Chains A and B, each alone.
Chain A
Amino acid sequence: MLPGKKGGGFAAPQKLLDRAGRILRLGQFWNYETKKWDGVVDSKYAQELGIGVDAVDWDGDGDLDLVIGSSRGRLFLRTNEGTKEKAAFATDSVEILGGGAPLRIGGGECIPSVVDWDGDGRFDLVSGSGTGGVYWLRNVGRAGAPAFEEPRALVEPEPFERGTLRDPRWPGRGTQACVTDFDGDGDLDVLVGDINEEDSKSTAPRERHGWVWLFRHRGPDAKGTATGDPAGKK
């Protein structure tokens, strides 16, 4: 977390800790200070890498909880058992289910963001994917007890025309989505970041690009608010 400073700017990054004082992590992670993998033995989800996070008041108790996405495409909740002013995160994560079964982003590499995509007053989840595309998980639950449908594609991973590395027409893989009213017309657009690499078996450095794409919303189907957007609700 980068704490904001009065008058603008940020203070140095801080590690988020759980209420037991441990680094908040999903499963194993590369500890840059000890230079080894931590969490391999003592984590309930040791084989998962937590690669993305967003904050939302999941349970309606007035503080921000964390939604974590994993390298394998799974989703987890880390509940804030403290207060809005003084967070105290639970010591373990809980997998987010849909209809009793784990929710998974096809292609893995779930990086969730919280947004009310359909404008029904309930926060939904949106995520990119390791194999490209952007997915929407619609919240059909109620306040304080969200429940999500299976992911459905907002941006297809395999378009009609992808183009080439140097003349692309569609995002590549490793997508990350930011939902926002980019053009100020009152509806939600989607920014998509990605990675595109030269297809080569050579060990020589490959040409690589990471673009940012704008999917400007056109239809009447998204009227929500981007709660992940600092200008929005959160």
Chain B
Amino acid sequence: MPSVGAFLFGAASIALAVAFQGKPAATFEPPVRLKAGDAFIDTGADIAYSGPSVFDLDGDGKRDLLVGNFRGHVQVFRNVGDDAARRFEAKGFLEADGKVVEIPNW
């Protein structure tokens, strides 16, 4: 299987165990930041608060990445890999009826 590390930054093999009352609630690989192309996905220009979600937006059978931000926009990252080894391509902001979606935050 293609490695997730092929398109993610700094994948390592040490597991992290999060203990709760002596029993791990979860065991994960060390975290990595997702990229689109060569650039880290970053909502900092829109006041950050990245809110990720996955959804097959373009109906090609592969789940894409949508990331909300504080300004109320949703950045779209098309999955140009596959669901086992995702690679993302930035496609701008999500639109609805031809307009950029803006969901007020409060």
Contact = CB atoms under 8 A, between A and B. Distances in A.
Given A51-B106, A214-B4, A218-B27, A152 B20 contact: yes
A7 B44 CA distance: 33
Interface string B8-30: 10010001011010001111111
Interface in B63-97: 63, 65, 67-70, 82-86, 94-97
Nearest to B69: A210
A210 B48 contact: yes
Contacts of A9: 95-96
A58 B30 CA distance: 34
A233 to B, nearest CB: 15
B20 A183 contact: no
A192 interface: yes
B41 to A, nearest CB: 5
Interface in A1-58: 2, 8-13, 29-30, 32, 49, 51
Contacts of A176: 49-52, 68
A136 B48 contact: no
A207 B44 CA distance: 8
Nearest to A9: B96
Contact of B50 (A12, A195, A197, A219): A195
Contacts of A208: 44, 47-48
Nearest to B32: A214
A9 B29 CA distance: 35
Interface string A194-234: 11110000000001111111111111011000000111000
Nearest to A156: B18
A174 interface: yes
A55 B32 CA distance: 29
With a 10 A CB-CB cut-off, give which of A30, A51, A209, A230 has the most chain B CB atoms: A209
18 contacts: A2-B96, A8-B58, A10-B94, A10-B97, A11-B96, A155-B31, A176-B52, A180-B54, A185-B1, A196-B48, A208-B44, A210-B47, A210-B48, A210-B69, A211-B41, A213-B31, A230-B54, A230-B56
Interface of A: 2, 8-13, 29-30, 32, 49, 51, 111, 136, 152-156, 168-171, 174, 176, 178, 180, 182-185, 189-197, 207-219, 221-222, 229-231
